[in-house]
Structure formats: C-alpha cells, structure tokens
Amino acid sequence: MPEADAVRALRAAAPSALAVLVRRYGDFAACEDAMQEALIAATEQWPTSGVPDSPRAWLVRVASRRRIDEVRSDAARRRREHRAVELEPEPAPVPAVDDTLTLFLLCCHPALGRPAQLALTLRAVGGLTTAEISRALLLPEPTVAQRITRAKARIRASGEGFRMPRPAELEPRLAALRHVLYLVFTEGHTASSGDELARVDLSAEAIRLARQLREADADASGETTGLLALMLLTDARRAARSDAAGALVPLDEQDRSRWDAAMIGEGVALVTEVLDRAPIGPYQLQAAIAAVHDEAPSTAATDWIEILGLYELLGRLAPGPMVSLGRIVALAMVEGPQAGLAALEASESEAGGALAEHHRTWAVRGHLLERSGATDAASLAFTEAARRTLNRAEQRYLSAKAERLRWSR
C-alpha cells in the first residue's frame, strides 16, 4: 500500500481516536503523547502491513498500551500500579460516538493564545508531528514544541474536563477554531516566507480539518460551511497560480482551463446552500466573492459590480485592511484606476498606517498606477512591494514586474 494512503488514513482517524482516549483516561497531555507514539508506529507499520479494518480502533489500542506502559514505568507512581489494571481496555469495540468536535474545541481553549491554538490543533487534531508543524509554519522545531507543551499545561491548569462547552461558550470557541483553520489555509495558500509560493500540504490539511469540523457540527451559523467553500474555491485555482518554473502567475493571466472544475462545483454548491439557510457571515461572503471569480470566463467578463457589492457588505460585517484592499481593487475595476488610487489613499489614512505597511498594498498601488499609465511610479511601487514581502516567489514576480516597467519607458 502506498505510504501516502496510509498517512491519509491515520490522519483521518487520529482526531476521533484521541477523543476516545481523553474521554477514557482524562489526561489530555498524557493521551496526546501516547497518540503521537501510536501515530509513529502506524506510519512505520501500515505502509507494509496495510491499513487495518478499523484505523481508529487500532490507534486507540496501541495508544492505550503506551499510556499503561507509561503509568507502570514511572517509579514515583508505583503505588498506583493497580490503576494500570483499571486502565486496561476491555476487549470491546471502540464506542461509535465521535468526539472529534469536543477535541477541536478543547484545542481552542480560551486560555490559549492564537499561536498555541494553531500548533495544538495541528498536533492533536491534524496528527502532525512537531517536526512537520515546524516545517509547515516555518518555525524552529523547539519553538513549536514549547508552544505545544505550554498549551497542554494551560489546559491542565484550567481544570477543563473533556466536555462540550456550555451553549453560551460554544459559538466563541467555534469562531476561534474557524479562525485557526483559516490561518492554516492562508499560510498554505501563500506562504508568508520561504522559497515556495504555496505550501500545498498545509492548505490540504486545512481543507481536511474543515471537512471534519463541518461533519461534526450542525453549523447553525453557516460559517463552517462558508469557510470550507472559501477554501475549496480558492484552492481550485492553485494549479494555475504558478508556471513550470514556480513563478507566480496573477489571476488575470491564469489559464482558467487548469482550474479544478470539480472543486469549484463543490464550493459553489456549498455557498449557495448556506446562503439560502443561514444568516450571512464573513466566510460566506468571502466564499461568494471567490465563486464569482471562479465562474467567470475571464477577468474582463467578471461581474465586478457584484464583487464590489459583496466587499462593501463584508466591510460592514468584518472590516479589516485586506477587506479594504479587496474592495479597492473591485472599485478600480468598476470605476477605473484613478478611483481606486483615490480610495487607496483615503483608506491608508483611515487605517492608521496598517494598510500602508503591507506589501500587497504596494502591489495594488503598482497595478493601479500601471493601468493609469504612470509607469515610473508603478515600477517604484512594485519595487517597494518586493522589498516588503518575505515570500521569494512573490519577490521574484514583483521585481520582474518593476524591471519590465523600467525598460518599457
């Protein structure tokens, strides 16, 4: 069996298996450590022996044994040896109940900061090792390990049992969890630094976890469905975002025949369904914007008036620098580059400098200046954008763009 198939199977089973362990034994940190050992064993055995009929039951059994061995081997706790006997799993099937959602929400405990929530979710729910998380987030492995250790310690100190949050606590936890998954996807879609434009493994993991969250939660708000739709509609364009040499290809130059039609169809169906049944939310609106782009045959044929209206609504529901920037691009496509440049200048002063510092602001400025015929100023703007980004694929594209404009005079 291919190793990739085994890895996909164990990562799909890991969250619910860990949830069984935590419900059974109660100690999240110890159970998570035992699960990591079981995952290592699975990656070594499954590619050759095959994926077991019940991957979840296999992981629970192996992790339980690791947990019991840990109890028995601790000299300071020998007097608790009888506890190990009580922990021995009965030869009964693993319960059918899936506690994945409870595990998701435990990883997004309010006592944790967002970086800790991100690392712990990837470790406990995503099944990634510390080394894999460090590579995915482009952070030193000791830093990631420290975040995970502190996160587990804070959960233990909080006294939080393995339970669903109370109704009043549930939606804030779900909102935090959705934001964590959004951050994972965003980092995968366009890496914040490094040589590669995207981290496909990270965006794929975010999509997988978003699917699991949607299956585990009734999604009354509609925002989990909106988030999944946004991810699918955005990732559908991945194959066309770079050329054979790995260079960035902007949206208006992409070969749309390379977009994933099946992924677009699923994303459009999801956003259509959720907009019909749930209150409008920010992720749904972002997904609707992505759907308009994906269904258009070209940039010129895109319904920019609809996109502008969606951005204006999004700006009222969830204002932010990137939302403002998206609205400015849409405005320029509807009313012309000068209107876009005027809006960009106004937004920079209103945002207290947050927008002016971002490299994408300078890239948009360069694009609008180029469209208006101010090639010298556009070249300088693209050069500044290249200086400000840490993603080297973006740097190469922006620098080349600036150079072409310099020579076009």
Asked if residue 340 has pLDDT above 90, the reply is yes
List all residues 6 or more positions away from 264 whose beta carbon is below 8 Å from its beta carbon. 232, 233, 236, 291, 294, 295
Mean pLDDT of the chain: 86
pLDDT per residue as tens digits for the range 319-337: 988 999 999 999 999 999 9
Asked if residue 101 has pLDDT above 70, the reply is yes
In the structure, what pLDDT confidence band is assigned to residue 166 with cuts at 50, 70 and 90?
confident
Q: Residue 390: beta bridge partners?
A: 193
In the structure, what pLDDT confidence band is assigned to residue 287 with cuts at 50, 70 and 90?
very high
Instruction: Choose the weakest-confidence range: 3-12, 35-44, 187-196, 359-368.
Output: 3-12
Asked if residue 150 has pLDDT above 70, the reply is yes
Asked if residue 83 has pLDDT above 70, the reply is no
In the structure, what pLDDT confidence band is assigned to residue 97 with cuts at 50, 70 and 90?
very low
Asked if residue 92 has pLDDT above 50, the reply is no
At residue 85, the pLDDT reads 46
pLDDT per residue as tens digits for the range 242-261: 998 888 999 999 999 999 99
- For range 273-296, the mean pLDDT: 96
pLDDT per residue as tens digits for the range 38-63: 888 888 888 888 888 888 889 999 99
